[in-house]
Amino acid sequence: MLIRLEPRGEASRAMVYQSPLIAVVLTLLASMVMFWVLGTNPLQAIHAFFIEPISTLDGLAELLVKATPLVLIGIGLSLGFQANIWNIGAEGQLTLGAIFGGVLALAFFDVDTPFLLPAMLIAGIIGGMAWAAIPAFLKTRYNTNEILTSLMLTYVGLLLLSYLIHGPLRDPDGFNFPESRLFHDAAVLPIIFEGTRLHIGWLIALFVAVLAWILIVKHIIGFQIRVIGMAPAAASFAGFKEKRLVWLTLLMSGGAAGLAGVIEVAGPIGQIVPVVSPGYGFTAIIVAFLGRLHPIGVVLAGLLMALTYLGGDSAQITMNLPNAVTGVFQGMLLFFLLASDVLISYRIKFGSARTRESTA
Partner 1 sequence: MKRFGKLTSLTVAALATATMAMSGGAQAQSDPLKVGFVYVGPVGDHGWTYEHNQGRLALEKEFGDKVKTTFVEKVPEGADAQRVINQLAASGHKLIFTTSFGYMNPTVRVAKKHPDVAFEHATGFKRDKNVATYSARFYEGRHVAGLIAGKMTKTNVIGYVASFPIPEVIRGINAVAIAARSVNPDVKIKVVWVSSWFDPGREADAAKTMIDQGVDIIMQHTDSPAPIQVAESRGVWAVGQASNMSAFGSKAHLTAIIDNWAPYYVARTKAVLDGTWKSGDTWGGFKSGMVQMAPYNSAIPADVVALAEKARKGIIDGSVHPFAGPIKDQSGKIVVAAGEVAPDGMLLGMDFYVEGVDGKIPK
Question: How far lies 216's CA from each of 16, 128, 293, 356, in Å?
Answer: 18, 21, 10, 43
Q: Which of 7, 9, 118, 167 binds partner 1 (CB under 8 A)?
A: 167
Q: Would you count residue 140 as binding partner 1 (CB under 8 A)?
A: no
Paired strand residues for 350: 3
Stretch that binds partner 1, among 14-22, 72-80, 130-138, 264-272 (CB under 8 A): 264-272
348, 4 contact by CB (below 8 A) = yes
Residue 118, burial from CB neighbour count under 10 angstroms (0-12, 13-18, 19+): exposed
Residue 223, burial from CB neighbour count under 10 angstroms (0-12, 13-18, 19+): middle
Q: Which of 316, 335, 351, 355 binds partner 1 (CB under 8 A)?
A: 316
Q: Would you count residue 331 as binding partner 1 (CB under 8 A)?
A: no
- State the nearest-atom distance from the C-beta of 95 to partner 1, in Å: 12
Q: Given the complex with partner 1, which of 186 and 343 has the nearer CB atom?
A: 186
Q: Would you count residue 320 as binding partner 1 (CB under 8 A)?
A: yes
Q: Would you count residue 281 as binding partner 1 (CB under 8 A)?
A: no
CA triplet 110, 116, 121: central angle to 5 degrees?
130
Q: Which of 318, 335, 343, 346 binds partner 1 (CB under 8 A)?
A: 318
Give the dihedral sign, CA 267/272/273/275: positive
Q: Given the complex with partner 1, which of 171 and 242 has the nearer CB atom?
A: 171
Q: Is 3 helix (H, G, I), strand (E, B) or coil?
A: strand
- State the nearest-atom distance from the C-beta of 166 to partner 1, in Å: 6
Residues 182-201 that bind partner 1 (CB under 8 A): 182-185, 188, 190-191, 194-195, 197
Question: How far lies 163's CA from each of 74, 111, 178, 259, in Å?
Answer: 28, 26, 9, 21
Phi then psi for residue 199, to 5 deg, are -110, 175
Residues 28-57 that bind partner 1 (CB under 8 A): 56
Q: Would you count residue 65 as binding partner 1 (CB under 8 A)?
A: yes
Among 262, 329, 320, smallest CA distance to 290 is for 329
- State the nearest-atom distance from the C-beta of 64 to partner 1, in Å: 12
- State the nearest-atom distance from the C-beta of 274 to partner 1, in Å: 8
Q: Would you count residue 277 as binding partner 1 (CB under 8 A)?
A: yes
| DSSP assignment letter at 48 | I
Question: How far lies 134's CA from each of 45, 125, 152, 156, 197, in Å?
Answer: 46, 15, 11, 12, 35
Q: How far apart are CA 28 and CA 193, in angstroms?
A: 31
Q: Which of 310, 325, 332, 333 binds partner 1 (CB under 8 A)?
A: 310
- State the nearest-atom distance from the C-beta of 28 to partner 1, in Å: 23
Q: Would you count residue 157 as binding partner 1 (CB under 8 A)?
A: no
Q: Which of 10, 114, 141, 176 binds partner 1 (CB under 8 A)?
A: 176
- State the nearest-atom distance from the C-beta of 212 to partner 1, in Å: 24
Q: Which of 12, 236, 323, 352 binds partner 1 (CB under 8 A)?
A: 323
Paired strand residues for 4: 349
Q: Would you count residue 179 as binding partner 1 (CB under 8 A)?
A: yes
- State the nearest-atom distance from the C-beta of 66 to partner 1, in Å: 7
Q: How far apart are CA 93 and CA 53, in angstroms?
A: 30
- State the nearest-atom distance from the C-beta of 239 to partner 1, in Å: 45
The footprint of partner 1 (CB under 8 A) covers 56, 58, 62, 65-66, 159, 162-163, 166-167, 174-179, 182-185, 188, 190-191, 194-195, 197, 264, 267-271, 273-278, 309-310, 313-314, 316-318, 320, 322-324
